[in-house]
């Protein structure tokens, strides 16, 4: 009997590959998006998120994971703020975290969230001060 190393599940989805990587420059502002979902990556790249934020300059980094195992629950949307962090929760399956100091968005998006809603509603709402 051989002792194989035990593999623990990655419940936080820390090691999900994000093969879809895009950068976009709009004047002095730049956005970089990484995702495991091509539709999300393209939607953010095509969006006018940087133009919607007139006080934004520098770089915005987005890493968004489409979590097909997350609960498909869009019942309630809420935003919490604490210091430099803003957190948008929608139901039990979607969470977006924006670090204002580092200008980074990390998020887990449930399977039933439409990219249109993510790009035109949720992310701009998260970025608003």
Which residues make Cβ contacts (< 8 Å) with residue 97, sequence separation at least 6?
85, 86, 87, 88, 105, 106, 107
Q: For the chain, state the CA radius of gyration.
A: 16
Q: Would residue 3 count as lying in a domain?
A: no
Which domain does 106 fall in, by range?
A: 20-127
pLDDT per residue, tens digit, the chain (129 aa), is 455 566 656 555 567 889 999 998 877 888 999 999 999 999 998 887 766 554 556 789 999 999 988 888 777 899 999 999 999 999 989 999 999 999 999 999 999 999 999 999 999 999 986
Q: How many domains does the chain have?
A: 1
Task: Kindly list the distances between the CA atom of residue 102 and the CA atoms of 60, 61, 67, 69, in Å, as whole numbers in the listed order.
Answer: 8, 9, 24, 29
How far, in Å, CA of 15 to CA of 2, rounded? 27
Give the pair of three-digit tokens for residue 58: 């520098």
Q: Which of 89, 29, 94 is nearest to 64 (CA)?
A: 94
Q: Would residue 108 count as lying in a domain?
A: yes
């Amino acid at each position: 009997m051989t002792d194989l190393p035990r593999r623990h599940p990655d419940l936080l989805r820390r090691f999900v590959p994000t093969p879809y990587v895009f950068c976009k420059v709009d004047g002095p502002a730049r956005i970089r998006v990484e995702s495991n979902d091509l539709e999300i990556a393209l939607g953010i790249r095509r969006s006018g998120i940087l133009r919607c934020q007139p006080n934004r300059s520098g770089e915005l980094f987005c890493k968004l994971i489409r979590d097909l195992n997350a609960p498909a629950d869009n019942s309630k949307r809420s935003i919490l703020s604490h210091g430099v962090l803003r957190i948008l929760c929608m139901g039990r399956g979607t969470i977006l975290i924006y670090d204002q100091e580092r200008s980074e968005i990390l998020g887990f998006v449930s399977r039933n969230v439409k990219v249109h809603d993510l790009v035109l509603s949720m992310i701009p709402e998260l970025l608003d001060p």
